[in-house]
Structure 1
Amino acid sequence: MHRGHCVAGTDWKSFADQLQILKDRGLTVGDDTRAIGYLEKIGYYCLSGYWYPFRAPKAQPVGLVFREDHFLPGSTFEDAVALYAFDRKLRLLALDALERIERAIRVDVALGGDRDLGFWCPFAALCRYEHKGSGCHCGQLRSGNGARTGAVAAKSELSSQRRSAP
């Protein structure tokens, strides 16, 4: 682990030193051992976004908000960690919902009935032709002259490109 100077030119600080900096700036810490554990697992700079709202605002022109280095009275390390935990849970719930929506759309496209591509051709996503009416070009494995057509040709071309790739 590099223990010299950081990119910003500040000296390396241990987790205990980082916690002391926060305390010196007015952040209340209920349990030092647990707080150091969070700093070790999550990181100072990752958590800094969650304690940013607890920092005192600087006097600025209307519309601009900057923060001082010291914290508002009553700000706690535990509140910053609770915000982090809430954000993490919210992010996981959003990703779960997004995954469910994605799966539902995939199924609907593939098996959703006579209005969907999957009904006309199982290879519709690979087809180079438009799907109009009830006819599908990619349902034909070979044309009259024996050449591959539609999705079968596209799939064969894709496979040969992958084999020839460096």
Structure 2
Amino acid sequence: VLYREGDERMWASLLQLQTRVRDYVTVLNLELVLDEAEGYAFLKSRPEPSDDDPAPRLPRLVARRPLSFPVSLLLALLRKKLAEFDAGGGDTRLVQSRAEIVELLRIFLPEGPNEARLIDQIEAIINKVVDLGFLHKLKAVAGSEPSYEVRRLLKAFVDAQWLAEFDARLAQYRTQLAGTGSKTDE
């Protein structure tokens, strides 16, 4: 991923040469995703042709790896937070503390007798999301807990429609956890 704030010269070059870059990566069966407003660009695999399409199937250059449920859950929760943050206006950067992210995830993970183990699991999930590039760990001030910036790149991977469906599923999941779901006799 290339961020505008990460390398201004490279970003300017990409904007200037974007049609040539698109043509070049198309040969490699890739697609350039460039969002000037949000300030990021990345390459992704082009969609697979349908079965009735006579075009030859090309091998994937970018491997697809499934995400675990907790990582997917955190991405969806962060995307929801980002949408709420954008709706509120104001600052352009969403920054979450480690404690805020832990609280986001805690209600969806099974409780166990060992609180420290749960926190360690959440730390591992956060680190995975940092490795994926959706969170950026900010420099910690002495004596404070770590904070993370939610990268706007997340909007390209978790769209609004998927988020709305996910929200409905979470509401259903919460009612099941609370035991408020009514049982009907068959």
Please report the TM-score for the alignment, with normalisation by the length of structure 2.
0.21
Higher strand share: 2
- Structure of greater Rg: 1
Provide TM-score, normalisation by structure 1: 0.23
